[in-house]
A and B are shown apart, each in its own frame.
Chain A
Amino acid sequence: MEPQIWILLGAVGLPFVAAVLTPLLYRVVGERVGYFGVAVAATSFGLILTQVGKEGTVSTSWIPSLDIAVRFHVDGLALLFALLASGIGILIFTYATTYMHGKPDLGRFYMALLAFMGSILGVAFAADLILLFLFWELTSVCSFVLIGYHTDEAESQYSARMAMLITVGGGLCLLLGAILLSIGAATAVDGAFNLSTILENRSTVTETLQSNGLFTPTLLLFAIATAAKSAQVPLYFWLPRAMVAPTPVSAFLHSATMVKVGVYALGRVRPLFHGPEWTLFVASMGIVTMFVGAVLAVLARDIKELLAYSTASHLGLMVAAFGFESHYGAEAGVFHLLNHALFKAALFLVAGIVAHQAGTRHIDELGGLWRELPITAGVTALATLSMAGIPPFAGFYSKEIMFEAAWETAQAGGGLAWFYPITAVVASIFTVLYSLRFLWLFLGDRPDGVGTVSRAPAMLSMPALVLAGGVVVVSVAPDLAIDFIIDDGANAAAVEEVHVHAKLPTHVSGPVAMSAIALFSGIAIFPFYSRLQAGLNRADTLTDRIHPTTLYDKFLSDTVRISRNVRSAVHNGLIRTYVWWVLLTACVLTGLGYATAGLGLPAPAFGETPLTIVLVLGVAVVAAVAISTTETHVTGVLTLGILGFMIAIFYILASGADLALTQLVVETLLLIIFLLVLEEMPAFYSDTDWSRISRDAVLSLVVGTTTTMSVLYTARDESDGLTQTARYYKDHAVEGGGGSNIVNVILTDFRAFDTLGESIVIVIAALSVLVLLTMRDRGETQ
């Protein structure tokens, strides 16, 4: 059944509309605006729920000239992702109303949160590559605003900027990948950016890409984009940093939805790139991240940091699953998408409750919290056991399918391919370890110095409880979830028809053995947790120099240093230097343009030039030479006036009345302005500096040559009557523009867009002068 476009537009657009209204509403109702967010999320959730079971692509035109449309595709995968985003959105908004109580700037906070929800729904449904890119980057921007919620804290600023640079940089790779893909698709299918037709005709598209040699570059660009977004090695380091954001943000963006955008996109394009290269790049990246994330999670000392690394690790699991060629890969990826969202969002909410009630997030300072927070402890038990992949909890099923995919790949590939299952098992041991450690916050002994912990308010524990309920449902009756959405979702990411099976193992096989090893080793090692942590810590310190964060900082400081050097060369505060660079750049670019167009050297055509024009221009040339040899400003200005007026006369002789008028008026104005500033200027020029003079002479020659060439190029059609453009303007000026002055009709009608731009430039110039001159005395002096 076809989905309805207006329902989709409503579901995606409503959060954006609400985001615009939020700051206004915040002024009226204060922080109760959070309930408005709950209502919006619930409405979007309801709208999307009506689309369940439907499949198809709907579109409405947006930029037809570029073949870009607002195109939405609905299938199991899109619905799963959208339902997760809006459903968890409802819970997060509910949680935030209490958690963010009494915090400043809530108008901005809720606005960004709502805009984020709209963007993520847009990503879920977008079936146009450009639209996908747009929403993708919007999620990054919202994430930037939300990570930087504490605008006056340096750490917050640093983390927000880091997340922005990495994820938006990754987004640019996505744009590049989309463009490459559209090049491949343009010859194969119509609608170059239409993702659903590309996926439908994937064999022709991949053939075209392969014959152009663009297949692997496109695949790599998509992989880099998702790596940045979904915190894969080596671009994972922004995610733990992003934990400076308030907990609702961490739970929503940095565990359940935004970081999954990359994974989701991988699932989308999986059928297209499916093959050995895909497995090599994507599965390896995922499995390494799964391992590194799990190890770093064991190292973590802060509960949110632990959860952040664990999120990276689980994202790695999903990426690896999608990377495997086996059909189990698609199943595991989609199934774990749901499971991870449920247990990880719940755990983040728990982390928020613990920090809120106990006043600390440090792991070593917490323990035995079940007495004060019994409900939270129950939620944590369910969620951590699911996270550890312990049967019969939900996480076990999806992880088991992922193991099957790894096992099958290893058996098919042999040799080095055993790297996949072995790394997966080692990573899972660490997963069990840190899951148990998190559970021990509630079960273990109570360390000294834990203050009084009060019971969590209902509004905080309720959303976590709902998520835990979800975990229970999927654990007890996985077929319910599978029939509802997982099967459809897996089919969207799979090449062949698949059906997901989730059941407890009945006989011993490779994957089952993998799970058993991971589980029992994890439990066996857990008593030595702190010793393991100390050992890992030493290894971590040793490799400090090649940490991605160190490299990132070095890269950033190098960039700043280089740009500072460039600035001191190009923008050194002397107008002369500025002019020099601007003119030179303009000339070089123009010259390059002529060179690439291959126009050849223009032939000067003198024709029959009237004597008067020769005379007038001759005077102009003499004046031009005279200017460069004047001694004082006054003579210089006056000679410049002669030059200008000669050119005006030339315009009159060449019947360019409008040009002549403009030239005269501007020339007059220039003279008057010079009169104004004349008193401030030194009477004589400074001493002759030959190096400067020769530099300026070179520039003058370059500018003069470029201008002459431009004139010759543009004027060379004159001999055989009017150019095509000129004839068009002449024929259409009266009927189309309603004026017989063609120049003015061009300015205000035919090329009004140019005029609009130029007028805005005048405004900007006026504002700059105003600001520069009136505000230069107000502090901020360096």
Chain B
Amino acid sequence: MTTVMTRTTARVVVPIILVVAISLFLQGHSHPGGGFIGGVLTVAAFALIYIAYNLDYLEDGVLGREVEKEESIGEHRTVAAYRRLFMFGLVVLVASTFSGMLLGDPVLSQYHRSIHLPLFGEIELASALVFDVGIFCIVVGGLLTVFSVVGAE
């Protein structure tokens, strides 16, 4: 799979996918999109990188770090990062679930407020976005963990 053609395509396509993913994620509350879709699309982008290059490419090719050889894929630094990501997502999700209780509202209460920003104009700011961040992180972290572990087999 690591042919020149796939690599060139990946180089061009991956940034576009990532931008689209982020915009889908952000506009989710008012237009098609959201945490899950954005997350899965991000995963697709990373998956493309893996297929075109390999698991270590993000570390040595993009971040320019030395890759240490780990005993098992579970201890691989990238996989550990994904694991942390979905753990973080879970924490965000649970925190946003119970934060409403601090204000005396039931579990999972969400709040929203319109604010005006220069350049962007009217923006709807909803606490549901935090919840969505949690979902996004869980989807990205979880699927990429599965993906890289299965891919390493």
Complex Cα spacing A151 to B102, Å: 41
Task: Flag if B131 contacts A665 (CB, 8 Å).
Answer: no
Task: Flag if B110 contacts A759 (CB, 8 Å).
Answer: no
Interface secondary structure of B, over-half rule: helix
Task: Flag if B34 contacts A741 (CB, 8 Å).
Answer: yes
Complex Cα spacing A192 to B128, Å: 38
CB neighbors of A among B40-86 (8 A): 40-41, 43-44, 47-48, 50-51, 72-75, 79, 83, 86
Please choose the segment from A110-118, A197-205, A285-293, A668-676 that sits at the chain B interface, where 4 or more of its residues have CB less than 8 A away.
Answer: A668-676
Please choose the segment from A307-315, A371-379, A566-574, A743-751 that sits at the chain B interface, where 4 or more of its residues have CB less than 8 A away.
Answer: A743-751
Task: Flag if A745 contacts B32 (CB, 8 Å).
Answer: no
Of the candidates B35, B41, B97, which one forms a contact with A665 in the assembled complex, judged by CB atoms under 8 Å apart?
B41
Complex Cα spacing A753 to B106, Å: 12
Does A586 make an interface contact (CB < 8 A)? Answer: no
Chain A residues within 8 Å of B47, by CB? 669, 672-673, 676
Complex Cα spacing A661 to B146, Å: 22
**Taking A658-B37, A665-B40, A762-B139 as contacts, is the C-beta distance between A756 and B108 under 8 angstroms?**
yes
Complex Cα spacing A68 to B40, Å: 42
- Residue among A738, A743, A748, A775 facing the most chain B CB atoms (10 A cut-off): A748
Chain A residues within 8 Å of B7, by CB? none
Please choose the segment from A468-476, A538-546, A766-774 that sits at the chain B interface, where 4 or more of its residues have CB less than 8 A away.
Answer: A766-774
Does A765 make an interface contact (CB < 8 A)? Answer: yes
Q: How far is the CB of B31 from chain A (nearest CB, A)?
A: 6
Chain B residues within 8 Å of A756, by CB? 93-94, 97, 108
CB neighbors of B among A725-772 (8 A): 737-741, 743-745, 747-749, 752-753, 755-756, 759-760, 762-763, 765-766, 769-770
**Taking A738-B112, A752-B97 as contacts, is the C-beta distance between A762 and B29 under 8 angstroms?**
no
**Taking A662-B40, A748-B131 as contacts, is the C-beta distance between A763 and B32 under 8 angstroms?**
no
Name B30's closest neighbour in chain A (CB-CB): A740
Complex Cα spacing A657 to B1, Å: 32
Q: What does the 1/0 interface line of A677-711 toward B look like (CB < 8 Å)?
A: 10010000000000000000000000000000000
Q: What's the A-B contact tally at a CB cutoff of 8 Å?
A: 162
**Taking A759-B135, A762-B142 as contacts, is the C-beta distance between A661 and B37 under 8 angstroms?**
yes
Task: Flag if A741 contacts B97 (CB, 8 Å).
Answer: no
Chain A residues within 8 Å of B50, by CB? 676
Chain B residues within 8 Å of A777, by CB? 72
- Residue among A657, A662, A762 facing the most chain B CB atoms (10 A cut-off): A762
Task: Flag if B1 contacts A763 (CB, 8 Å).
Answer: no
CB neighbors of B among A654-668 (8 A): 657-658, 661-662, 665-666, 668
- Residue among B28, B35, B94, B134 facing the most chain A CB atoms (10 A cut-off): B28
Task: Flag if B151 contacts A676 (CB, 8 Å).
Answer: yes
Q: How far is the CB of A357 from chain B (nearest CB, A)?
A: 53
Of the candidates B74, B138, B151, which one forms a contact with A770 in the assembled complex, judged by CB atoms under 8 Å apart?
B74
Complex Cα spacing A64 to B127, Å: 28
Task: Flag if B150 contacts A658 (CB, 8 Å).
Answer: no
Task: Flag if A739 contacts B29 (CB, 8 Å).
Answer: yes
Complex Cα spacing A741 to B126, Å: 13
Chain B residues within 8 Å of A680, by CB? 153
Task: Flag if A675 contacts B1 (CB, 8 Å).
Answer: yes
Task: Flag if A741 contacts B29 (CB, 8 Å).
Answer: yes
Task: Flag if A753 contacts B108 (CB, 8 Å).
Answer: yes
Complex Cα spacing A661 to B74, Å: 32
Complex Cα spacing A755 to B47, Å: 24
Chain A residues within 8 Å of B145, by CB? 766, 769-770
Task: Flag if A748 contacts B139 (CB, 8 Å).
Answer: no
Task: Flag if B44 contacts A672 (CB, 8 Å).
Answer: yes
**Taking A658-B34, A669-B43, A766-B141 as contacts, is the C-beta distance between A744 and B149 under 8 angstroms?**
no
Name A772's closest neighbour in chain B (CB-CB): B149
Q: What does the 1/0 interface line of A33-67 toward B look like (CB < 8 Å)?
A: 00000000000000000000000000000000000
Chain B residues within 8 Å of A675, by CB? 1, 51
Task: Flag if A773 contacts B110 (CB, 8 Å).
Answer: no
Chain A residues within 8 Å of B94, by CB? 756
Chain B residues within 8 Å of A773, by CB? 73-74, 149-150, 153
Task: Flag if B93 contacts A739 (CB, 8 Å).
Answer: no
Does B22 make an interface contact (CB < 8 A)? Answer: no
Chain A residues within 8 Å of B83, by CB? 766, 770
Name B82's closest neighbour in chain A (CB-CB): A766
Q: How far is the CB of A59 from chain B (nearest CB, A)?
A: 21
**Taking A672-B47, A739-B124 as contacts, is the C-beta distance between A658 and B32 under 8 angstroms?**
yes
Name B72's closest neighbour in chain A (CB-CB): A774
Task: Flag if A748 contacts B150 (CB, 8 Å).
Answer: no
Complex Cα spacing A744 to B131, Å: 11
Chain A residues within 8 Å of B128, by CB? 737-739, 744-745, 748-749, 752
Of the candidates A738, A741, A765, which one forms a contact with B31 in the assembled complex, judged by CB atoms under 8 Å apart?
A741
Task: Flag if A765 contacts B40 (CB, 8 Å).
Answer: no
- Residue among A737, A753, A765, A766 facing the most chain B CB atoms (10 A cut-off): A766
Known: A673-B150, A759-B93; 9 extra A-B contacts, CB below 8 A, are A658-B37, A668-B44, A673-B147, A744-B29, A747-B36, A748-B110, A752-B108, A752-B128, A769-B150
Interface residues of B (CB under 8 A from A): 1, 24, 28-37, 40-41, 43-44, 47-48, 50-51, 72-75, 79, 83, 86-87, 89-90, 93-94, 97, 107-108, 110-113, 124, 126, 128-129, 131-132, 134-135, 138-139, 141-143, 145-147, 149-151, 153
Closest 3 A/B residue pairs (Cβ) = A738-B112, A774-B74, A739-B29
A-B contact pairs, 14 of them (CB 8 A): A658-B33, A662-B40, A665-B37, A665-B41, A668-B44, A669-B43, A672-B47, A676-B150, A743-B34, A744-B29, A748-B131, A748-B135, A763-B142, A766-B146
